[in-house]
Chains A and B, each alone.
Chain A
């Protein structure tokens, strides 16, 4: 079983189980809402995949000639076209593309070793997950705690500092910020590694099961490898997570401020509940609803940021893969990666919407 299949099963089975539970135990309104959202997600992915397919084929530049370069003979060009199915009419190629997506096969790459896309994604996707999950956690931790803290001390020095932080950090170019962190912590202080996912020597002995090295080192009780994985995660995670935290700080702050003005908060205060409990226990919970929506919207930005972060830190994930293959006009790879990204965004948006509907029943109507 490929690592990507293991990851899909690990996430998919509990997810589907939970969905089934909600569908069985939930109200009719909730069930209808979820079905409608799923019904809207599938055409969205289909339309996006179709657009990507035709845009890629309209663009000038031939993947075969690009791959073979000036040395390619007419026979070689013809052979490769035949092998890759590029001699078929466009509509037939489109049909094959859709079939490949539906069967999660994705076809074979058009450059390099013509490997199955699923194998290439299987190697790359876990690395991207390993980066975006801790980066999201970091962004949320800083964003939610910082935003709440700023709201609770409105118009104080801390509030102004956090507001300035959120604007500055969000407006920093990710490429520049990553490089600065590399230069400071990797080169000047020599505290942290600046590239890769694990020390090469330890990586050579790590058993690859999921290709998420954090999980693989845990499964193998390889503590030295785990330490190396964590320390290699620090700079890429900080780069991506800190940049994204800015928007969460602002969003959380605004929502907590609004919530703190609600009547039930005044009532809670009147009952003598400690301010910390009022803010973090009562206000934050309700203020989180719009923030949860924002998480769904930020997934696409997170993946776009991952493309740059992966390049800066030589992180072998999907982002770097996409950049490489766009320039080589590797139709199948680009279409597959974008479809995969769209699928991720859609599934997370769907999950967020379901959570939202559970937290706030009003959205179902």
Chain B
């Protein structure tokens, strides 16, 4: 009898537990929105973080002097009262801050505190592991000082027209002085983590989830609409796709990949929002290595690649052809490669190759390298498409080499350099300089159109055309008149295409997948994509759940 009672009690307890668990199977209350991502956090310190997801969190918990309006690429004042005042020599930017700005724990932000935090970028920034400072502060910024409680003065090393864009990036977010001391990088502080933005981080379990709650002291115009945001971290995109379908998460954000997105487009209970992304894919060409040291070979390749075929056959139309390294929507973007090469143009390609002595009996042997997983499993298939497109001439003999990322990137950037490889790029700030300069100046990340020289900004251009391109880009960098700057970039893109510095292929559309009860705000341009705009900013404040 005793044994039977024990069994009954045990069964009852198990059933009770399971029933209570069923109640929590879909417990997302009205106020809580759960966003799934396959990213991981690398750092939450604004003086260190240099990854897209880290920046997204820093932006949602912080504010910068200038910001891009949700859903748009419009730069507007945020912590600043107005756009910066620029000195005549372009070296000094003065910004007035709004007063009464407070961190999530009530601490008031002063200009002195802000300056001290921004100076962390210059002092400890370069020694932090992710080293954002060497990309976005050290090359530009001489010093930051506060002249009174609300005025910040930025002294630049040299005039750069895109500095307002840089001011809007995550490293220029004021960090809480108690959490982020001036002499130390703190990559993973203990929650709660307070910023001056609409949210604060109330809880963080590494690799599992991060909880955001509204900052009670936030007075900006991006007030949170939901009571709580939970970011859930997935290791497998397939699992994330299933989780949004069965309602375990409300929103599936980066990254699902084209195949899963394509499957989800036919699922009844979810909406797939497509956003013009900033991620591009291109062939990186080493101009000092045979056979790509011959301009005719590079031009022949540029004449043959049919980007539409790649998009249609490999990406199910979710990638868009890219005809300039400066993608559509950015200042002065052209379609220089299309205008110049009109690919696929087999006759033109054969002419270029013939001019260098290549024909069917003496084909140009081209070794092309790529990482099979780092840029998605689609890389191999689209490289096969490119091989087929080049070999259709009978004058190219292409050998494809797949190499996993760690080995590939070591060889590509470590001196063993390949003549042709694959790389991807995602901008730090939405400006053409961020898409063009890195591939031209001072080694150009392995393109070698301007050979790397220690201590030099521009390096040593390999020929007159390269010299002209360097000159155009250098002028555009400091030109503050937008019309003149646009014209310079238009010319630069022609020169870039003529040299085939890199070979832009396509840009990827970002996708956000969400449940029917999730909405974006009608206040800004793109509620259907939850106000994630062309600059791929995801403002959690825009989200509502019915």
Chain A contact residues, CB within 8 Å of chain B = 60-63, 65-66, 69-73, 75-76, 79-80, 83, 112-115, 120, 123-124, 179, 182-183, 186-187, 190, 192-197, 199-204, 208, 223-224, 226-228, 230-231, 310-316, 320-321, 324, 327-329
Contacts and interface: CB of A to CB of B under 8 A. Distances in A.
A202 B26 CA distance: 11
Given A114-B129, A224-B24, A63 B406 contact: yes
A230 B21 contact: yes
B206 A314 contact: no
Nearest to A62: B410
A315 B236 CA distance: 10
Contacts of A328: 406
Contacts of A73: 134
Interface residues on B, range: 35 or more
A115 B130 CA distance: 12
Given A62-B410, A316-B235, A200 B209 contact: yes
A186 B28 CA distance: 16
Contact of B40 (A66, A112, A196, A315): A112
Interface string B401-421: 000111101101110000000
B353 interface: no
Interface string B126-137: 110111001100
Contacts of B134: 73, 75-76
Nearest to B22: A231
A316 B242 contact: no
Nearest to A73: B134
A179 B373 CA distance: 21
12 contacts: A69-B409, A70-B445, A80-B129, A112-B40, A115-B188, A120-B206, A182-B239, A190-B25, A202-B24, A204-B228, A314-B235, A314-B236
Contacts of A231: 18, 21-22, 24-25
A314 B234 contact: yes
Given A223-B17, A231-B22, A314-B240, A60 B27 contact: no
Contacts of B18: 227, 230-231
B126 to A, nearest CB: 8
B362 interface: no
B446 interface: yes
Contact of A66 (B21, B246, B406): B406
B203 interface: yes
A65 B242 contact: no
B444 to A, nearest CB: 11
B284 to A, nearest CB: 8
A75 B188 CA distance: 25
Contacts of B129: 80, 83, 112-114
B406 A329 contact: yes
Given A113-B188, A195-B239, A200-B209, A66 B410 contact: yes
A71 B445 contact: yes
Nearest to A65: B410
Interface of B: 17-25, 27-29, 32, 34, 40-43, 126-127, 129-131, 134-135, 187-188, 202-203, 205-209, 211, 228, 230, 232-236, 238-240, 242-243, 245-248, 284, 373, 404-407, 409-410, 412-414, 423, 438, 445-446
B242 A186 contact: yes
A320 B38 CA distance: 13
Contacts, number: 176
A316 B208 contact: yes
Contact of B207 (A62, A66, A316): A316
B42 A113 contact: yes
B21 A327 contact: no
A313 B21 contact: no
Contact of A61 (B202, B234, B373, B404): B404
Name the residue in B17, B24, B27, B134 with the highest tally of chain A Cβ atoms < 10 Å from its Cβ.
B24
Contact of B27 (A186, A201, A208): A201
Contacts of B206: 120, 123, 316
Contacts of B187: 113-115
B76 to A, nearest CB: 28
A66 B413 contact: no
Contact of A195 (B24, B43, B243): B243
B236 A312 contact: yes
Given A112-B40, A228-B21, A60 B236 contact: no
A65 B413 contact: yes
A127 B341 CA distance: 55
Contacts of B131: 76, 79
Nearest to A187: B246
Contacts of B246: 186-187, 190, 193-194
A226 B17 contact: yes
A238 B231 CA distance: 27
Given A69-B409, A203-B205, 15 more contacts: A62-B410, A71-B438, A75-B134, A76-B134, A80-B129, A113-B129, A115-B187, A190-B25, A193-B246, A195-B243, A196-B208, A224-B20, A224-B24, A227-B17, A327-B373
B238 to A, nearest CB: 7
Contacts of A65: 406, 409-410, 413-414
B420 to A, nearest CB: 14
B239 A312 contact: yes
Given A65-B413, A196-B208, A327 B404 contact: yes
